[in-house]
Every structure is written in structure tokens, then in C-alpha cells.
Amino acid sequence: MADDLQRKIQSELEIYKSLQKEYSKAVQTRQQLDGQLNENQIVKDELNILREDSAVYKSVGPILIKTDLVEAKQNVAKRMDYIGKEMKRIDDQILSIEKKQDGHREILQKLQHQFQQAQVKAAMKA
């Protein structure tokens, strides 16, 4: 009986740990996306300040290629749109992992409680 319980606790613990890993990974991705979004926002602001006839370049590897200002603006807007969508996706993911984590934490606490009770009983018998 006690062995069975211990095994259960072990497997629950493993699930919980892997959820934690998943969670921190998602949070990291979310932070990265946030940073990218901010950087793009800054570039967008900068492009908006530029005069219409300003030359804009895009670096491709070591060389700079001249691009159209309008095109550059569109490109940045598109990127921000994409990053925003990605962020929403990750946010949902984080929420669902949080829910799962809470559920498993509860199960774990219950199991640990059972285990303690079983130990107390065994001690009383001995």
C-alpha cells in the first residue's frame, strides 16, 4: 500500500516538474517576444519621424541594401502584427500550463497527505 502510494507520488512529481520546465520555457519565449515587439516599436517610431525622401537601408549579411521607406514601414508593421499574434498564443499557453500546474499541485498535496497518514498508522501499529 505504502509502496503503491510512493510510486504515485513519484510519477505525479515528475509530471509536475516537467510542467514547471514547460512553464519557464514559455515565459522565456514570451519575454523574448516582448523585447522584439518593443524593438520594432522603436524602429517604427523612428521610421515615422524620417522625411518622406529619406534613404533607408536594410542590412542583409554584411551589406546594406537600399529600400523604400514605405516598404520598410509596411515590413515593420507586418512584423509587429506577427509578433503580437505570437504573444497571444504564448499567453494562452502560459495560462493553460498554469491551470494544469495548479491541478497537479493539488493532487500531489493530497497524495502527500495520504502518505503521511499511512506512515502515522504504520508507526502506531509497530
Partner 1 sequence: MAQISAREAPHLQQIDLTTLNLQQLSTLKQQLDQELNLFQESLTSLKMAQTKFQNSGECLEKITSDLEGRSILVPLTGSMYVPGKLVDVNNVIIDIGTRYYAQKDIESGKDYFKRKINFVTEQMEKIQVLGLEKSKIRDAVVEVMELKMQNQTA
Residue 60 beta carbon to partner 1: minimum distance, rounded to whole angstroms: 8
Binding-residue pattern over the window 84 to 113 for partner 1, x denoting contact by CB under 8 A: ------------------------------
Binding-site size, partner 1 (CB under 8 A): 21
Written as one string, the DSSP assignment of 64-126 is: EEEE-HHHHHHHHHHHHHHHHHHHHHHHHHHHHHHHHHHHHHHHHHHHHHHHHHHHHHHHHH-
Residue 41 beta carbon to partner 1: minimum distance, rounded to whole angstroms: 8
**56 and 9 Cβ atoms separated by less than 8 Å:** no
Residue 23 beta carbon to partner 1: minimum distance, rounded to whole angstroms: 16
Binding-residue pattern over the window 29 to 58 for partner 1, x denoting contact by CB under 8 A: -----xx--xxx-xx--xx--x---xxxxx
DSSP 3-state assignment of 50?
coil
Rounded Cα distance between 109 and 13, Å, is 10
> Which residues of the chain form contacts with partner 1 (CB under 8 A)?
34-35, 38-40, 42-43, 46-47, 50, 54-60, 64, 72, 76, 79
